[in-house]
Chains A and B, each alone.
Chain A
Amino acid sequence: MTDDVILRVQDLQTHFFTRTGVVKAVDGISFELKRGETLGIVGESGSGKSMTAWSILGMVPHPGRIVGGSINYLGDNLLEKSRGEMRDIRGSGICMVMQDPLTSLNPVFTVGDQLVESLRMEYNEPRRSLRDRAIRLLENVRIPAAEDRLTNFPHQMSGGMRQRVVGAISIARAPNLLIADEPTTSLDATIQLQYLRLLKDIQEQTGAAIIFITHDFGIVARMCDRVAVMYAGRIVEQSDVEDMFDRPAHPYTEALLESVPDLDTDVDMLPSIDGQPPSLDALPQGCSFAPRCPYAWDRCNEYPLEFTVAPGHVSRCWRAE
């Protein structure tokens, strides 16, 4: 069944044309997302994970350009849409969840104004009925006394409330896909947990798919159904979440999972990954992880193909051949 697939990214290439040369920020990645599914895209800074998000939203900053591939959203190729059409999709179909939910509200407008503003894009209705919709939205994200809260300014609400308001705004137009780019990096642990639960809650209510862009395997373990691991612009491994944690196939994934300290076990010395993440304008020939890889052999001078190691589990490493 392909009906269930709401987003299909195929061989997406987003390159940056700088004075010193072409930087291949995203270099041929493919993945699919089903309705209600949560995909984690994991990678370090510069791995291309955020640029993947911007590409889907059609907001690649200058001097970047999508040079190849396709992004299929509900049967349409987003790369063929006009700017106006994309703007419409961004609000109603695909929605970005802000990086810092606590500071992304406008301090000089009331919460009600900000909710109504996003609702007006979707519904051509009088202000009164938009207001009612806003109240229902706030109730959906479990804000008590929602009606009174509409006249509040953001500073009159607590951090957790503001988080909920931002959540309400992002689902105001009933999106099919939420993209959360490092949504909780600036939050304290207990607030982060509240926010992740809110997102799950929203997902259950709306059936939206979520893409989590993160560097934290903990968020993946807590939230995601599937994972794609990015390294230097490519997806090096992709699988179901449990399969990835049980049997990481790519040496990078394996090393990364081992190098993160675990709260439940004790180790004397963490295994660490040598070297630095590669700079995208000077990528090695062949496999980009080879210089840091403990298993590297001469075969790695050629860029590895994608091999299936288990059903639904692919790895770009010659060891999986």
Chain B
Amino acid sequence: MVTTASEIAGTSTGSGEQPLVRLEGIRRHFPIFRGNVLRRRTGTVKAVDGISINIMPGETYSLVGESGCGKTTTSRMLLMADQPTEGSIYFDDRPMNQFSGAERRNFKASVQAVFQDPWSSLNPRMRVDHIVSEPLITHQRLSRSAVRAQVQELLQVVGLHPFHAERYPHEFSGGQRQRIAIARALSTRPKLIVLDEPVSALDVSIRAQILNLLKELQSTYELSYLLIAHNLATVRYMSHMVGVMYLGKIVEEAPPIELFTNAQHPYTRALISASLPAHPRRQREEIVLTGEVPSPLNPPTGCTFHPRCPFVMDRCSVDVPILTAYTPGHATACHLYDEGEANTC
């Protein structure tokens, strides 16, 4: 049985709306080998271990969690840069591993990405017009003048000037470079953009500009975003749905306001308590987690969070908690809430 968290949570604003992307029980396990001559498999890293999410059209789904929890591996599978070991990804209700050639091309044009660091994600030897038009030329047959017209339009959409087309990336500041990367992502008129830490490399006074631009583009073009970010305040500002990941699993999923005012999973609560206050008089109650994130090579039994959990119980080291919606629209994978459910039944 596959539990689709978003389905339980019932995220979609419209009633019968179809998700644009559906991840069902996705696993990505990397084998670890030892030895050169007598090569043998000595272990498995479960980078992503059974996650199911729905990304609705025109909405932002955010994945939060610490480094190594599988956020980026998930996004790579969604970008077709990697294949899941198990489970399937549906795009517009079609399974990705059964795509025909045409569907595949269409998919590649419909899903684009914007990365964290605009200093390394733009080719320094290419002019801006080439950077922006490269995906266009790959995916469509267009005359040179049509390409030029589209580039000019795209630059204006992201708040740059048409004359910037003839410049090189080094002539721009970080915020402007990120705008170029966004223009490039928009060029194929995508339905989904993967945003991997889109503002964390930018200056503070620029971040709000870029976040606002992304929000505007989302409402203008009905874009869906998969946002990967570690700054929870940014996630709250941008998202419609948030999934908290820990060691390759989603441990809690809810819309941002619900999640940040009423967090259930101890890990989510620790993450929130670790985010810095917005005012010196509003210090948070700090839950300090002991120890580190365990190695995904050898994850703890039962609930993978139990060795660091302040509320650990006996059964946590034995039973794997299942993501369950204890309140409507809010799913948690934690045994703490099992009893609550038993009581109400």
Chain A residues within CB distance 8 Å of chain B:
44-45, 158-160, 188-194, 197, 215-222, 224, 241-242, 245, 255-256, 259-264, 266-267, 269-274, 276-277, 292
Contacts and interface: CB of A to CB of B under 8 A. Distances in A.
B232 A263 contact: yes
Contacts of A267: 237
B233 A262 contact: yes
B259 to A, nearest CB: 11
Given A190-B288, A197-B288, 4 more contacts: A221-B282, A222-B283, A261-B236, A277-B205
27 contacts: A159-B292, A188-B66, A190-B274, A190-B289, A194-B288, A194-B289, A215-B203, A215-B204, A217-B204, A218-B276, A218-B277, A221-B277, A221-B279, A259-B205, A259-B207, A261-B208, A261-B234, A263-B232, A263-B260, A264-B260, A264-B278, A264-B282, A267-B237, A273-B208, A273-B209, A276-B173, A276-B175
B211 A245 contact: no
Query: Which of B205, B257, B272, B292 has most chain A Cβ within 10 Å?
Result: B205
Interface in B202-234: 203-209, 211-212, 215, 230-234
A109 B31 CA distance: 32
B211 A261 contact: yes
B286 A193 contact: yes
Contacts of B231: 261
B271 interface: yes
Contact of B292 (A160, A219, A274): A160
B176 interface: yes
Contacts of A221: 276-280, 282
B205 A188 contact: no
Contacts of B44: none
Query: Which of B66, B208, B234 has most chain A Cβ within 10 Å?
Result: B208
A194 B234 CA distance: 22
B138 interface: no
A189 B274 contact: yes
B96 interface: no
A260 B204 contact: yes
A291 B203 CA distance: 17
B125 interface: no
Contacts of A192: 274
B254 to A, nearest CB: 15
Nearest to A241: B280
Contact of A260 (B215, B230, B278, B282): B278
- Contact residue range for chain B? 35 or more
A215 B204 CA distance: 7
A214 to B, nearest CB: 10
Contacts of A160: 291-292
Contacts of A158: 291-292
Contacts of A276: 173, 175-176, 206
Given A218-B277, A264-B282, A269 B203 contact: no
Interface string B233-263: 1101100000000000000000001001000
B288 A273 contact: no
A270 B211 contact: yes
B270 interface: yes
A263 B236 contact: yes
A242 B283 CA distance: 12
B67 interface: yes
B332 to A, nearest CB: 19
Report, nearest first, the 6 A-B pairs whose CB atoms are least far apart: A218-B276, A272-B208, A259-B208, A188-B66, A261-B233, A193-B274
B230 A262 contact: no
B278 A262 contact: yes
Contacts of A193: 273-274, 286, 288
B322 to A, nearest CB: 24
B281 interface: yes
Query: Which of A216, A262, A292 has most chain B Cβ within 10 Å?
Result: A262
Interface string B279-310: 11111001011011000000000000000000
B179 to A, nearest CB: 11
Contacts of A242: 280-281
B209 A272 contact: yes
B205 A44 contact: yes
A272 B212 contact: yes
A306 to B, nearest CB: 22
